[in-house]
Chains A and B, each alone.
Chain A
């Protein structure tokens, strides 16, 4: 059994690094083989949006280190992601990886593995989207996320002063390994409002008749009970989250693949109309 740590921070021996290592120590103590990859040590380019992975189903054509990252995830049973919250959300390296993960979302080859998320952050109240990218990342991979833990630490390595944080991180690692061993995907962290993402962000839909989790897209009802907001999601809605195999399949099958026919049918008209933009203010030949 293997637990792979992914580190979304450039800083060596920073809080994300320390928490990840503490958690991996916990996983190792629980019998797992462990490995840690610092994502900023690898070169991966921005997705170029050609859609070859979708339309030709042959994988991504870009030659960089992303395939190595995917191979490391593939050979692991669980992933521990430790990523700091910088400006309200994860570091950019995670978003870059998400964009490149389209091919995996389409293929669904990594579904069913386990994950835990650790997020150190500096200022209370400045982390509204801290779980957004981790949830998207593991959502499109189809992982069971069993922890989402945040840690209020600021200075470099400050977390070493916080015994509770270290104990919690070690427990996360241990429980992640145990979850893999027992095949138990129960959620261990404090629950959030969304039963899928366990986050607290809710979007009021423009028709003002319903709310949704903006990440997984499940629809619910917002009510006020005893002076407090209550959000409820019925059982059907809970099965229709955007990362579910069925919704994901329908998205690729009906919202993406037919766009090829649409593209081909409108190609000549678009090409002619796009001509004035091709060279306007262009500094490089595209």
Chain B
């Protein structure tokens, strides 16, 4: 009972720590008139994320199929899949960086 309580409290302590709060906040962008930057960044992130999801889905699907056909090659296929997912993800993050560059100016 004591051990379980200890584990529960330890988990709660960990859950209460969200460390990036100690970082600084973002400056807000004010605009008079239509905020085209906000509209454009919303659309561009959505398009980037949508197309990336399609690509990553294809990667994961072929990885699953490869592992099903040849379970012995599982390790190599997993490595290739993770690598492929990371590359597609980084393209979306390039878009995010451009959005941030435009929003913060």
Q: Do A and B bind each other?
A: no
